Amino acid sequence: MGFSLVGLLIGLAVLAPNVLLLAFPPAGGIPKLSEAGIVFTVLERTGQVGCLGLLVASGGAPLSGWLLGSAACILIYWALWARYLARGRRFGDLYASLWMIPLPMAVFPVLAFAFATLWLHSPWLGLAVAALAVGHLSNSWQVRRGLRAGSPRGRSAPGR
């Protein structure tokens, strides 16, 4: 175990676009929609901390195709953020499908971390990715369901 610059860069590359929500929030505000529940939120947060911490402390590994897979997922994720901006910063675009992939803005960051797991051959990172996947995908799916159902709690809020 030791510091990994590549691991840090992967983590920052996944997190950086989220800063866009601070600078460019959804045009109509962020609706109040429920997430999947406390268990999924705890899994999501645990997975986020675990993925970032383990990537940075991984010590790295030789470059491989798995690392390229992670980079490809990050580039697709960034393109999805560009889509959000280009379409006028609609909240629903954060949960919109891409081709036949539901919730691509939840799927591709998880895949980026999963490819990093394969690159590093780290079972601990794999557990963190699994926790992140279960929590993040469940919460995102619940928000998407609320958007599609036209939830009566879909009023705009200054932040969620």
pLDDT tens for residues 60-93?
A: 788 889 999 999 999 999 999 999 999 999 988 9
pTM above 0.75, yes or no: yes
* Inter-residue contact 4 to 60 (CB < 8 Å): yes
Structural domain contains residue 123: yes
Structural domain contains residue 24: yes
How would residue 153 be classed by pLDDT, with cut points 50, 70 and 90? very low
Structural domain contains residue 71: yes
* Inter-residue contact 1 to 120 (CB < 8 Å): no
Structural domain contains residue 158: no
**Enclosing domain of residue 32:** 5-151
Q: Residue holding tokens 């505000």?
A: 29
Structural domain contains residue 159: no
Q: Which residue has better confidence, 67 or 35?
A: 67
Tokens of 86: 């280009």
What is the arithmetic mean of pLDDT over 147-152?
68
d(CA 50, CA 45): 8
* Inter-residue contact 72 to 34 (CB < 8 Å): no
**Helix (H/G/I), strand (E/B), else coil: 67:** helix
Residue 154 is predicted with a pLDDT of 37
Structural domain contains residue 138: yes
Q: At a CB cut-off of 8 Å and minimum separation 6, what does 99 contact?
A: none
Structural domain contains residue 72: yes
Structural domain contains residue 157: no
Residue 76 is predicted with a pLDDT of 96
Number of helices and strands in the chain (H, E): 6, 2
On average, the pLDDT of the chain sits at 88
What is the arithmetic mean of pLDDT over 39-45?
94
When divided into structural domains, the chain yields a total of: 1
